[in-house]
Amino acid sequence: MPVGTKGTVKGLTPGDLREVGAGIILGNTYHLYLRPGSDLIREAGGLHDFMGWNGPILTDSGGYQVFSLSETRRISEEGVEFTSVYDGSSHVFTPELTTRVQEELGSDIAMVLDECPPANASRAYHEESLRRTARWSRRSKEAHEKRDQALFGIVQGGLYPNLREESLGRTVEIGFDGYAVGGLSVGESREEMLETLALTAPRLPSERPRYFMGIGDPVGILQVIALGVDMFDCVLPTRLARHGAALTPEGRLNLKNAKYRRDFGPLDPECSCEACAGYSRAYLAHLVRENELLGHRLVTLHNVRFTVDLCLKARREIKAGRFEEWSRSWISRYRGSDHPRTDELE
């Protein structure tokens, strides 16, 4: 899911997103609640009409953003009090409020309010946190009234297998339309992340979507798909583009590198997006070096198209029963180039 934090995937129009094949995008409850406000978006007919996107939208609960602001928030059983990053005003997110805000936004998938502790939090804190998240999750479900909006629960528990098992059991017992694995990609190693995911994802209900919150590098995407994940989001493809980096099957290209100054070949010969079909690496490198908006837009367009295409290829190979072999070969090719790797989040 391309991330449209404030109601826009940076640099791309809804038409661009449809053109590259994006099937669903993500919006951020925290930011949209603060600006322009969920009441205004409701008056506009909901987030779909407000931003001109006619496809599905998932909104997170804003919990991750709140809990990343550790210096300005206070947690209680009622919810979490925090200070706005925009104007310093004080707010309180409760499970009931974040559910109502997402209903006002009119997203197709809403998330429960959860607590996302850092990876280095103590076992005792993770234990207390997952149980509070379970209580908040039940409150979110009880408050949820929009019947045409799916509500997803979130499994926490840090890197502790028995705490993950407890959180999974508590979350599935409540019963949700889909399930997310949270609390990963928050400072742990890739190996720790995959080990924890391998213990969690396969045990989630197979008839419900499984969502990994926060992964978007190509290798990581294939690794979590292999463990049974259906959905994922990350700002990485768009953020890399704004720094002049393009994703290709041979790895990442840093267009600020001098060797692309006179490279008149396409960005990615295997891609048919606007950036690859109409412009050379030399031209795109020029735009990036000059910080031209067109350069950011074209590389963003390509990176999102590349990531969507990778998922479509993975789906095809799964259906053909060749995913494991294909994925191993694809990762080997991607890692085998001389370009910097993106198998770690940046």
Q: Rounded to an integer, what distance in angstroms lies between the CA atom of residue 343 and that of residue 325?
A: 19
Residue 129 lies in a domain: yes
Query: What is the residue range of 302's domain?
Result: 239-335
73 within some domain: yes
Same domain, 228 and 246: no
User: Which of 172, 142, 146 lies closest to 154, judged by CA?
Assistant: 172
Q: Which of 234, 258, 276 is the last residue of a domain?
A: 234
Picking from 175, 204, 234, the residue at the C-terminal end of a domain is: 234
- Tell whether 58 and 191 lie within a shared domain: yes
Do 29 and 120 lie in one domain? The reply is yes
Query: Does residue 190 lie in a domain region?
Result: yes
* Residues 14 and 130 reside in one and the same domain: yes
Whether 200 maps to a domain, the answer reads: yes
Distance CA 192, CA 159 (A): 7
Torsion of CA 272, 301, 18, 62, to 10 degrees: 150
Same domain, 153 and 129: yes
Q: Is residue 340 part of a domain?
A: no
Tell me the pTM: 0.94
Residue 135: is it exposed, middle or buried by C-beta count within 10 angstroms (0-12/13-18/19+)?
Answer: middle
pLDDT tens per residue across all 346 residues of the chain: 999 999 999 999 999 999 999 999 999 999 999 999 999 999 999 999 999 999 999 999 988 887 777 677 899 999 999 999 899 999 999 999 999 999 999 999 999 999 988 888 999 999 999 999 999 999 999 999 999 999 999 999 999 999 999 999 999 999 999 999 999 988 899 999 999 999 999 999 999 999 999 999 999 999 999 999 999 999 999 999 999 999 999 999 999 999 999 999 999 999 999 999 999 999 999 999 999 999 999 999 999 999 999 999 999 999 999 999 999 999 999 998 644 444 433 3
- Could you say which of 114, 217, 233, 268 is catalytic? 233
Query: Is 233 designated active site?
Result: yes
Residue 179 confidence (pLDDT): 98
Same domain, 126 and 224: yes
Confidence at residue 340, expressed as pLDDT on a 0 to 100 scale = 46
Residues 244 and 330 both lie in one domain:
yes
Q: Is residue 94 part of a domain?
A: yes
The CATH number of the domain holding residue 164 is 3.20.20.105
Residue 85 lies in a domain: yes
Give the dihedral sign, CA 192/198/203/206.
Answer: positive
Q: Is 114 a catalytic residue?
A: no
Do 193 and 293 sit in the same domain of this protein?
no
Which pLDDT belongs to residue 70? 66
Q: Which of 60, 217, 268, 309 is catalytic?
A: 60
Instruction: Please give the radius of gyration of the chain, using alpha carbons only, rounded to the nearest integer.
Output: 20
Total structural domains within the chain: 2
Residue 346 lies in a domain: no
Domain boundary among 199, 234, 269: 234
